C-alpha cells in the first residue's frame, strides 16, 4: 500500500484527488494538509508520496521540505517554472535518492495533445497556441501551454525549421500574445471553461488544428493516480507524465 499525503487537500484539485486516490487499488491518503497545517504531518502519517496542489509561492518550499525528509513528491501546482525546477535539481544534488515528478497537466488527452503537437511542429510554417481556462486561474499562460510551446520550439530547432513568419511591427496592447520561444501563446479566462487548448498550425494552402477540452476535473484523476503510483523509484526530477505512461 502506497501512503499519500495531499497538500492543498481542501482545494478543487486537492479534494478531487483525495477521493480518486482513496478509490484506487494500492493507494491510501494518510494526510490531508491545507493552509495552516504543519508539513510534519507528512512524516507523522508515514507518507511515502506527497501530492502538491497548493500555490506557486509555497509549492517550492513544500518540495524542498519533502526532499530533505526523503519523501517522493508529485507537483501538480500550476506555475512551477524553470527557476523553481532548477532550484529542485540543485537541492537534489548529483546523486538524488528522492523522486520529484512535475506534471503541467494530468489529463491523458492533454498529454497526447502535447505529443501530437510536438510531432507536427516541424512540418508547418506557422504555429500559435490558444489556451482557455476559468477566470479563477491565477497564472497565465497555463503550464500546459508553456510546456506545449517549449516542446514544439525544441522540435523545430532540432529539425532546423525556419523562424515562424510574422510581419507585425506595431502591437502596443500585446494582441499577438505572449511568446514562448518564438511561438505566440494566447490566454483566455472565461466562465464556462475548465481547461481547453488549441494548437493552430498553418502551411501553404492548409490549416491544421489540434484541440483538447477538459470539461470536469475528474478528467485529471487517472493521471493523478498514475503519477502517484509512478513517482516511487524515480530518483531526480521528471517533468511530465510521458515516461510514466510509456510515451
Task: Show pLDDT as tens, one digit a residue, over the chain (247 residues).
Answer: 999 999 999 998 999 999 999 999 999 999 999 999 999 999 999 999 999 999 888 999 999 999 999 999 999 987 788 899 999 999 998 878 899 999 988 999 999 999 999 999 999 999 999 999 999 998 899 989 998 999 999 999 999 999 999 999 999 999 999 999 999 999 999 999 999 999 999 999 999 999 999 999 899 999 999 999 999 888 899 998 988 988 8
pLDDT of residue 78: 79
Cell representation of residue 39: 508539513
Q: What is the DSSP letter of 87?
A: H
Boundaries of every domain in the chain: 2-102+218-245, 108-215
Fold classification of 108-215 (topology level): Dihydrodipicolinate Reductase; domain 2 (3.30.360)
pLDDT of residue 26: 96
* Domain 2-102+218-245 indexed as CATH 3.40.50.970: no
Q: What angle do CA 242, 245, 246 make, to 5 degrees?
A: 85
pLDDT of residue 79: 77
Structural element, H or E, at residue 224: helix 221-230
pLDDT of residue 9: 95
Q: Judge contact between 156 and 121, C-beta under 8 A.
A: yes
pLDDT of residue 82: 85
Report pTM.
0.82
- Which of 236, 230, 243 lies closest to 90 in space, CA to CA? 236
pLDDT of residue 85: 92
The span from the CA of 68 to the CA of 92, in Å, is 9
- Which of 109, 136, 142, 118 lies closest to 215 in space, CA to CA? 109
pLDDT of residue 57: 85
Report the C-alpha dihedral over residues 185, 190, 194, 198, rounded to 10 degrees: -30
Active site residues: 133, 137
Amino acid at each position: 500500500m502506497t501512503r499519500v499525503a495531499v497538500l492543498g487537500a481542501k482545494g478543487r484539485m486537492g479534494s478531487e484527488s483525495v477521493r480518486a486516490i482513496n478509490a484506487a487499488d494500492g493507494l491510501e491518503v494518510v494526510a490531508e494538509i491545507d493552509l495552516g497545517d504543519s508539513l510534519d504531518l507528512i512524516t507523522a502519517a508515514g507518507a511515502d508520496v506527497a501530492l502538491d496542489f497548493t500555490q506557486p509561492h509555497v509549492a517550492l518550499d513544500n518540495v524542498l521540505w519533502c526532499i530533505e525528509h526523503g519523501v517522493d513528491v508529485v507537483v501538480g501546482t500550476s506555475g512551477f517554472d524553470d527557476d523553481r525546477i532548477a532550484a529542485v535539481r540543485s537541492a537534489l544534488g548529483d546523486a538524488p535518492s528522492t523522486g520529484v515528478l512535475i506534471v503541467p497537466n494530468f489529463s491523458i488527452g492533454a498529454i497526447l495533445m502535447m505529443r501530437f503537437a510536438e510531432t507536427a511542429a516541424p512540418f508547418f510554417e506557422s504555429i500559435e497556441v490558444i489556451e482557455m481556462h476559468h477566470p479563477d486561474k491565477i497564472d497565465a499562460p497555463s503550464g500546459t501551454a508553456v510546456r506545449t510551446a517549449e516542446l514544439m520550439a525544441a522540435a523545430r530547432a532540432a529539425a532546423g525549421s525556419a523562424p515562424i513568419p510574422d510581419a507585425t511591427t506595431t502591437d502596443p496592447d500585446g494582441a499577438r500574445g505572449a511568446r514562448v520561444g518564438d511561438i505566440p501563446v494566447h490566454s483566455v479566462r472565461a466562465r464556462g471553461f475548465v481547461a481547453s487548448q488549441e494548437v493552430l498550425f498553418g502551411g501553404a494552402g492548409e490549416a491544421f488544428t489540434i484541440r483538447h477540452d477538459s470539461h470536469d476535473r475528474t478528467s485529471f484523476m487517472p493521471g493523478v493516480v498514475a503519477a502517484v503510483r509512478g513517482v516511487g523509484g524515480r530518483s531526480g526530477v521528471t517533468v511530465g507524465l510521458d515516461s510514466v505512461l510509456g510515451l
